[in-house]
Structure 1
Amino acid sequence: MKLGVFTPLFNDLSFEEMLDQVAAKGLETVEIGTGASPGDAHLKIDTLLASSDARKEYLQKVADRGLSISALSAHGNPISPDKVQAQAHDELLRKTIKLASLMKVPVVNGFSGVGGGNATDTHVNWPVIPWPTEYADAYHYQWDQILIPYWKDINQEAGAAGVKIGIEMHGGFLAHTPATMLRLRSEAGDNIGCNFDPSHMWWQGIDPVAAIKILGKAGAINHFHAKDTYLDQDNINMYGLTDMQPYQDVASRAWTFRSVGEGHPMSEWSQMLAQLRIYGYDYVLSIEHEDPIMSVDEGLDRAITNLKSVLMRDQPQEMWWA
C-alpha cells in the first residue's frame, strides 16, 4: 500500500508548492481535484485537455518529486434538480474521465449525486426513511428514473476510457451505504465502485471493518480516503446521528471529522488495512484532512505518523508453517 493525500487542504498553495509540501512529508501520491467541491486550484482541466505538451509538463512535475497521481476527483452533484449545476457537474465528470484516461490515472472519484423528489422539484431530496410514503416515492423516482440511467451511461464512458469510478459514500447522496453502493454497481456496471471513506461509515452507525468485507467481496473498492470521525455519545443522546448543527459547532455536535487516530484507535485502523489487503485492495490510502481543531500541518502530520504505524508495504511471504 502507498500513502498519499487529497490536496484541497493545500488549495492556498500553487501546484508546485503543493507538490513540494507533499514530497517533503514523505508521501507517495496525490489525489487532485478538478473542480466542483474540491476546487481546481491545482489542475485546470480545459488547459490540460487541450494540450498534450501541457499534460506531459504537468505529469513531469509530479514525477520529478517522486510522486504519482492516485486519482482525479470531481466531487459534485451531476443529477441535481438545479439544471445549471447538474450540467456543469456532469460536464466536469466527463472531462475528468477523459483527462484521467489521457494521463493514465486509474481512478476518478466523486459523489453519486442526489436529485429532487419528483420531476418538478427544484431542491434536492435525500430520502432515508420509507414513511410517510412520499419519501418512498421520492426514493424510487430518483433511483429508477435519474440515478441508475445516469450512472449506466457514465459506467460505459469510464469503461471505454479504461478508468474506474470511486463513489464516495457520503451522507446527503443516494449511494451512501454498502447496500446502496452495491445496488448502484449492480444496476450501472462494474466500472462503478467506491472511494471508501470510513469517516462516513462511523457517523451512520456502520462498522467500517465489516463494510470493507462486504464491499471487498464484491470487488467494489477502487480508492480509499483516510479520515476519522469522533462520536460524542452525550451529544448523540441529544441530537442523534443526523445532526444538522454546523460543523463549526464542535462542542455540541454529535460527531466531528478528525485526523486519523483521533476518533478511533489505531488498532481499528489496522484491522481495516488488513481487510483491504485480504479482499484485494493494495493501492493507496489518501489522507483527507478535515479536522476542525487541528492545523493543516499538525493534522496531516498526525495522520501520516499514525498510518505509517499500521501500513503494510511488503507483500506477504509464502506460509512455511501451513
Structure 2
Amino acid sequence: MKLGVFTVLFQQKPLEEALDYIAAQGLQAVEIGTGAYPGNAHCNPDVLLADESKLKAFKHAVESRGLTISALSCHANPLHPQKAIAQEAHDTIIKTVDLAQKLEVPVVNTFSGCPGDSDDAKYPNWPVAPWPPDFQEILDWQWANKVIPYWTETGKYASDRSVKFGLELHGGFSVHTPATLLRLREAAGDVIGANLDPSHMWWQGIDPVQAIQILGRAGAIHHFHAKDTSIDPINVNRYGLTDMQSYSNMLDRAWQFRTVGYGHDIKVWADIISALRLVGYDYVVSIEHEDGLMSVEEGFTKAVQNLQQVLIKEPLGEMWWV
C-alpha cells in the first residue's frame, strides 16, 4: 500500500509548494480536487484539457517529486433536482473523467448524488425510514428514475475511458452504505465502486472493518480515505447520530471528525489496514483532514505518523511456514 493525501487541505499553497511539502513528509501519492465541493485550486480541468503543454507540466510537477496521482476528486450532486446545479456537477464529473484518462489516473472520486422527491422538487430528499410508506415510495422512485439511469450512462462513459468511479459513502446521498453501493454496482456495473471513508461509517453506526469485508469480497473498493470520527457518549443520547448541528459546534455535537488516531486507537486502525490487505486492496490510503481541533499541518502530520506505524507497505510474500 501507498500513503497519500487529499491535497485540498493545502489549497492555499501553490501546487508545487504543496507537492514539495507532501513529498518531504514521505508520502507517495496525492488525490487532487478538480472542482465542485473540493474546488480546483490545484487542478482546473478546463485549463489542462485545453492546453497540452500545461497538462504535461502538471503531470511533471507530480511525477518529478516521486508522487503518483491516486484519484481526481470532484464530489458533487449530479442528481440535484435543480437542473442547473445538477448540470454543473455532471459537467465537472465528465471533464474530470476526460482528464483522468489523459493523466492515466484510474479513479475519479465523487458522490452518488441525491435527487428530490419528484421532477418538480427544488431540494434533495434523503429518505432514512421505510414508514410511513411515503418514504419508501420516494426511495423507489429515486432509484428507478434517477440514480440507476444516471450512473448506468455516466458509468459507461467512464468505463469506455478506462476510468472507475469511487463513490464516497456519505450520509445525505443515495449511496451511503455498503448495501446501497452494491445495489448501484449491480445495476450499473463494476465501474462503480467505493471511495471508502471509515469516518462516515462510524457516525452511521457501521463498523469500517466489516464494511471493508463486505465491499472487498465484491472487489468494490476503488479508493480509500483515512479519516477518523469521535462519538460523544453523552451528546449522542441527546442529538442522535443524525445530529444536524453545525460542525463548528464541537462541544455539543454528537460526533465530530478527527485526524487518524484521535477518534479510534492505533489497534483499530491496524485492524482496518489489515482488513484492506485481507480483501486484496493494495492501493492508496489517502489522508483527509477535517479535524476542527487541529491545524492543517498538525492534523496532517499526526495522521502521517500514526498511519506509518500500521501501513502494510511491502508486497505479500509466500507463507514460508505453510
* Residue identity in the other structure for 1:311: L
Q: Name the residue aligned to 1:191.
A: 191
Instruction: Note if contact 2:82-2:121 (Cα within 8 Å) is conserved in structure 1.
Output: no
Matches within 5 A, 1:95-244: 95-244=95-244
- Per-residue deviation at 1:219? 0.3
- Per-residue deviation at 1:131? 1.3
Q: 1:54-109 CA deviation, whole Å, 9 max, x = no partner?
A: 21111001111111111000100001011111000001101100110011001000
Query: Unaligned stretches of 5+ in structure 2?
Result: none
Q: Name the residue aligned to 1:300.
A: 300
SS at match of 1:233: coil
SS at match of 1:182: helix
Q: 1:98-130 CA deviation, whole Å, 9 max, x = no partner?
A: 110011001000000001011211111001111
Identity value in percent: 55
CA distance in 2, matches of 1:320, 1:45: 48
Q: Name the residue aligned to 1:81.
A: 81
CA distance in 2, matches of 1:91, 1:123: 20
SS at match of 1:157: helix
- Per-residue deviation at 1:27? 1.0
Q: Name the residue aligned to 1:250.
A: 250
CA distance in 1, matches of 2:185, 2:20: 37
- Per-residue deviation at 1:280? 1.2
SS at match of 1:309: helix
CA distance in 1, matches of 2:287, 2:213: 21
Instruction: Note if contact 2:166-2:193 (Cα within 8 Å) is conserved in structure 1.
Output: yes
TM-score by length of 2: 0.99
Q: 1:9-54 CA deviation, whole Å, 9 max, x = no partner?
A: 1111111111111112111111000000000100111111112222
Q: Name the residue aligned to 2:268.
A: 268
TM-score by length of 1: 0.99
Q: 1:251-271 CA deviation, whole Å, 9 max, x = no partner?
A: 110100000000001111111
Equivalent residues, number? 322
Q: 1:114-168 CA deviation, whole Å, 9 max, x = no partner?
A: 0101121111100111112211111111111000000001111111000111000
Q: Name the residue aligned to 1:36.
A: 36
CA distance in 1, matches of 2:78, 2:173: 11
Q: Name the residue aligned to 1:55.
A: 55
- Per-residue deviation at 1:310? 0.2
SS at match of 1:32: strand
RMSD, aligned CA = 0.8
CA distance in 2, matches of 1:298, 1:283: 25
SS at match of 2:160: helix
CA distance in 2, matches of 1:265, 1:154: 39
* Residue identity in the other structure for 2:140: H
Query: Unaligned stretches of 5+ in structure 1?
Result: none
Q: Does 1:10 align with 2:29?
A: no
* Residue identity in the other structure for 1:199: S
Q: Which runs of 4+ in 1 moved over 6 A?
A: none
CA distance in 1, matches of 2:57, 2:243: 45
CA distance in 1, matches of 2:118, 2:179: 23
CA distance in 2, matches of 1:178, 1:310: 24
